[in-house]
Chains A and B, each alone.
Chain A
Amino acid sequence: MTNNLRFKTSKFIDETYRVSFKFNNKTYFGFKGDTLASALLANGIHLVGRSFKYHRPRGIMTSGSEEPNAIIQLHDNSSRTEPNVRATEVEIYEGLVASSQNCWPSVNFDIGGINNLLSPILPAGFYYKTFMWPASFWEKYEYFIRKSAGLGKSPKVADPDIYEHKYIHCDVLVIGAGISGIMAAKMAAKNGFKTLLVDEKSYLGGSSIYDNSEFSKINNQITSSWLEKEINEISKLENLEIKIRTSVAAFHEYNFLLARENLTDHLPINQRENKVRQRLLKIRAKKVITATGSIERPLIFDNNDRPGILLSSAIKKYIDLYGVACGENNILFTNNDTAYETAMSLIQRGIKINAIIDNREQIDSKISYEVEKNNIEIYKGYTVVDTCGYRRINKISIMKLSKDGQTVTGDKTKLNCDCLGVSGGWTPAVHLFTQSGGKLKFREEDQVFIPNVYPSDQISVGSCNGDFGLEEIISNTLSSIKKFLDIDNSEYKTVETISGLNQSKRNIWLLPSDKSIGKTKSFVDYQNDATAKDIKLALREGFRSIEHVKRYTTTGMGTDQGKLGNMHALGIISETAGTKMGEHGTTTFRPPYTPLTFGTIVGRNVGEFFDIFRRTPIHDWHVANNAEFENVGQWKRAWYYPKDNENMHQAVQRESKAARDSAGILDASTLGKIDIQGTDASEFLNRVYTNAWSKLAVGKCRYGLMLNEDGMVYDDGVTTRLGENHYIMTTTTGGAANVLGKLEDYLQTEWPELDVYLSSVTDHYATISVCGPNSKKIVSKVIPDLDLSDEKFPHMSFKNAKIDNIKCRVMRISFTGEHSYEINIQANFGKSVWEKCMEAGKDFNITPYGTETMHLLRAEKGFIIVGQDTDATLTPIDLQMDWIVSKKKYDFIGKRSLYRSDTIREDRKQLVGLLTENPEEVLEEGAQIVADIKKSPIEMLGHVTSSYYSPNLKKSIALGVVKGGKNMLGQKLIIPMENKNINVTVADPVFLDKEGERLNAKL
């Protein structure tokens, strides 16, 4: 069966190098140079998959990246497995394993095939209409839909391959190495432009490189020979870089392009070790020349999707490039001259052509006369109305087209075949051009969209620009590139071309049938099983916009983005709606042009490089002491330090008790620190904080609240006046970068007259906070020279000090309500000072505590955490922090917003304390708060923002925001949970030591 399908005359196939591979568990042979598709075809295999919705048998349809049907799973059951790969793009290698993916249990017997019989009840939008109701059933439907509709299988283990990203800057990028691309690259490189030429294929020259026809010649040479010499010449050019197997995925504004360079996919697995598999090229080009060619259009007729139906250009390529015949009894069906080129290739190899069906009544070209001379019957003015054959086409029915092409007449003739080549003309590959923001225009005479308005310094040449004839392609490429690059010397003296083709075409978007439209299956989108009938149904149901029709019918929404059928969909829409083409717009082609692997997208940013972690200078100590960590912004912060198999709750209870009873120590290095200097520093703080700063004495600290201009709380922290014109501001851990950005914004744009300089010094200092009744004794051991008496060093003040001759700043400030000190020291001494404190605190049971205990301790005191208890909808007044808002200051950021009609409403959500009726019951953070559960719908009054069990108070405490909560002290509210209602009482948010006795106790 196979021998008569392979012609050992192609120079692209190395028949001395036999390659074995597995497809659906069966071993086959091909040759080096084959794609999986060409090797399967050489083995007589067309049927490679099932369609998405109806599970119809589908075969290889094209020979390139536009393939909608031959979508396979590579390396099944291995860590390298990859779904949705086009068999037409896979270069085979020894040991390749591939399988069909859209079939279950097998490609030849597929249970989903029943959908084909049910198709009258599976119209467009079926999935939307049916399975969405009742909503609760969706999970059940989904299981079966997913199982029988193959979307491929994603790998279950880590990808063993290496990927990387690379930036490339060039003067000229040429996309596509067909005839136009090769000429453009030569002209650019020879004229001194640093040029990059990329092509998605493994060879250069595009479809012309295997064009050996006598009917198209350049300078009296066969096209392929002329082009080979050109390629040979440019490969020696110094400022031209050529990359094959490189597919441009995205063309963004400002000539920024992403391309995937495939480096090892064509190699046997054992030769891929330690090599980069794929590289994402980030290209910034001064000028871009797009020469992406065109894609042959299929024809839309009943049952146009059977295995054995291919694009006529694909049949030609399989013969001329791979030496493979797609069938032994071929019929070509066309509306233009390109199918005759395929016919000549078949004739030259002695492959049988049973007939040619041509939509056109008149055919007048040298090549068609030559085909006719070979005694091949040409049915002029005919169309295919139906096809037969379940797993492979075996028959077609043809009828005569009426004059207007809208109906068929006369008798039906049946013709046998095992392969049908279709050609509906060509669609310029404008995908990248439109991605870049380019605007298209519709060319009425041959019904194509071509580039019209270029958004950047770029140009399209060759057939992607709508030039289809050889002479047009060459002369237009020469003249446009000369103009585009502004060069005098084109490098080409004279280029004379001969072509036996005529550009006439009879375009009929949906070919008529003797059956009513409802009884036909004329596929427009093969991958998603959208038919002409579906599109007409969508229009009948009132959809007009192409984007809506697309989503309703799923046309163009497959992994191929409808590269073959989108034009037909547009054509059918405009014919049915009676509008002009282009009036409905075109669908948007989105990046990537062909699917990218996740590996390529992430490159080296995997594992620990996926996201950056920031670690404090004391981090190693926390690790060595069994800390559990939590992520806060990019920081890894010690969360709690479990001892002897404690769980978090147990550890936090122990830590927080120790901090209040004796001494606790916290690594606070992650707090943002901004150094503020300048003669206007005080004035600046006055403007950015709600409270007054000018009277703060040198050596004193003050807590500040920062608002947005809308009056909502943005950040908070303690700022210390280090000198007359020198402050250090602390911010929340997560807010540090944003606060700096905001302050810089105001300084640069609103108040450039202020003499203020900001520097982020977060990473420069380690911050160690020692708190508790014994903190004073511990710190005095660590810094014996420092006078810690309340007179010399009262709460909210700061001292410069030295530990072993290393300068440090000590603040007496507290976030726990306990007597406490914060030691700030140059980061690299952080760990040793921490260890010193631990040593000094040994006798006092100094207990390291993490963020969880810190949160509990501050909640006992009713101190807010910006971002946990606030969410950018709360003013300081809502937080019951009126005391921090200066009444005297004329202005500060957000002041005016505090008395907008909305912010003075009494029923805003306000921060309150919550106590549960049962003191052992701990509320869930985020739980809803209501007053009346009988009312329907229940009115939501607010939610719980912080909740803990306090070992110091021996009861559950919580903070929450409640509508009008300020005036609800003592009122009973309800927290409805899944299986119970929890009764709570609104309380003062300060649960412990409201008078501050602990803070001010004489120690």
Chain B
Amino acid sequence: MFLINCPFCGEREQSEFKAGGEAHIVRPKQPTELSDDEWAEYLFMRKNIKGIQFERWNHVHGCRKWFNMVRDTSNDQIKAVYKMGEKPPVK
């Protein structure tokens, strides 16, 4: 079980959190302008990387805030956490 450093609350057990999939996928501002393929790209396509992945997490049984995490999915090392809207602190 991970120990996750919520950017608002500090270190908490993973059981307090919910994972929310890949981060930095912006909902298109004008969905109606998009072709089926473009919309499908937003809707369905995810990278699911083995290695460094940027993902969304929610402190659901805590402050209920969403934030971003950089995690190496090959060894579950959390490289960084940062607030929504912030730039990733690592590449």
**Interface of A with B (CB < 8 Å)?**
252-254, 256, 284, 437, 455, 709-710, 741, 744-745, 748-750, 752, 890-891, 895-897, 900-901
Contacts and interface: CB of A to CB of B under 8 A. Distances in A.
B52 interface: no
B75 A900 contact: no
Contacts of B34: 896
Nearest to A455: B75
A741 B65 CA distance: 10
Given A455-B75, A752-B84, 13 more contacts: A253-B76, A256-B1, A256-B3, A284-B13, A455-B77, A709-B43, A744-B64, A745-B20, A748-B84, A749-B84, A750-B27, A896-B39, A897-B39
A900 B39 CA distance: 9
A253 B31 contact: no
A254 B20 CA distance: 20
A961 B40 CA distance: 26
Interface string B75-86: 111000000110
Top-4 shortest CB links A-B: A896-B31, A254-B3, A256-B1, A748-B66
A749 B56 contact: yes
Nearest to B83: A748
A891 B39 CA distance: 13
B66 A253 contact: no
A1003 B88 CA distance: 64
Nearest to A891: B31
Contacts of A745: 20, 58, 66
A248 B64 CA distance: 33
B32 A895 contact: yes
A884 B56 CA distance: 32
B1 A748 contact: no
A584 to B, nearest CB: 20
B3 A284 contact: yes
B78 to A, nearest CB: 8
Interface in B31-79: 31-32, 34, 36, 39-40, 43, 56, 58, 60, 64-66, 75-77
Contacts of B30: 891
30 contacts: A253-B1, A253-B2, A254-B3, A284-B13, A437-B76, A455-B75, A455-B76, A455-B77, A709-B27, A709-B43, A741-B58, A741-B60, A745-B20, A745-B58, A745-B66, A748-B66, A749-B56, A749-B84, A752-B84, A891-B30, A891-B31, A896-B28, A896-B31, A896-B32, A896-B34, A896-B39, A897-B39, A900-B36, A900-B40, A901-B36
A437 B75 contact: yes
B81 to A, nearest CB: 14
B66 A749 contact: yes
Contacts of A709: 27, 43
A987 B51 CA distance: 54
B35 to A, nearest CB: 10
A254 B43 CA distance: 33
A254 B66 CA distance: 22
Contacts of B28: 896
Contacts of A890: 32
Nearest to A890: B32
A897 B38 CA distance: 11
Nearest to A895: B31
Contacts, number: 55
Contacts of B76: 253-254, 437, 455
Contact of B65 (A748, A750, A891, A900): A748
A40 B47 CA distance: 59
Interface of B: 1-3, 13, 18, 20, 26-28, 30-32, 34, 36, 39-40, 43, 56, 58, 60, 64-66, 75-77, 84-85
Nearest to B3: A254
A748 B30 CA distance: 19
Nearest to B39: A896
B14 to A, nearest CB: 8
A710 B43 contact: yes
Contacts of A901: 36
A901 to B, nearest CB: 6
Contacts of B65: 748
B54 to A, nearest CB: 13
Contacts of A284: 3, 13
Contacts of B85: 752
Nearest to A439: B75
Contacts of A749: 56, 66, 84
Contacts of B3: 254, 256, 284
A252 B36 contact: no
Nearest to A254: B3
Most interface-central of A253, A710, A744, A752 (chain B CB within 10 A)? A253
A433 to B, nearest CB: 14
Contacts of B26: 750
A254 B4 CA distance: 9
Contacts of A744: 64, 66
B91 to A, nearest CB: 22
B60 to A, nearest CB: 7
A745 B20 CA distance: 9
B56 A252 contact: no
Contact of A254 (B2, B18, B40, B56): B2
A749 B20 CA distance: 11
Contacts of A900: 36, 39-40
A895 B27 CA distance: 13
A895 B3 CA distance: 38
A748 B66 CA distance: 7
A750 B56 CA distance: 13
A435 to B, nearest CB: 13
Contacts of B77: 455
A322 to B, nearest CB: 39
A683 to B, nearest CB: 15
Nearest to B85: A752
Contacts of B39: 896-897, 900
Contacts of A897: 39, 43
Contacts of B2: 253-254
B88 to A, nearest CB: 15
Nearest to A900: B36
Most interface-central of A710, A748, A897, A901 (chain B CB within 10 A)? A748
A895 B13 CA distance: 37
Nearest to B44: A710
A744 B13 CA distance: 22
Contacts of B18: 741
Contacts of A891: 30-32
Contacts of B60: 741
A7 B2 CA distance: 51
Contacts of B58: 741, 745
A231 B66 CA distance: 49
A710 B45 CA distance: 13
Contacts of B1: 252-254, 256
A22 B34 CA distance: 78
Nearest to B2: A254
A749 B68 CA distance: 10
B77 to A, nearest CB: 7
A233 B89 CA distance: 48
B30 to A, nearest CB: 8
A179 to B, nearest CB: 31
B63 to A, nearest CB: 11
B43 to A, nearest CB: 6
A284 B15 CA distance: 13
A900 B88 CA distance: 33
A425 B73 CA distance: 37
A774 B84 CA distance: 53
Nearest to A256: B1
Contacts of B64: 744
Most interface-central of B26, B34, B75 (chain A CB within 10 A)? B75
A605 to B, nearest CB: 14
A896 B75 CA distance: 38
A24 B2 CA distance: 46
Nearest to B33: A896
A896 B18 CA distance: 27
Nearest to A253: B76
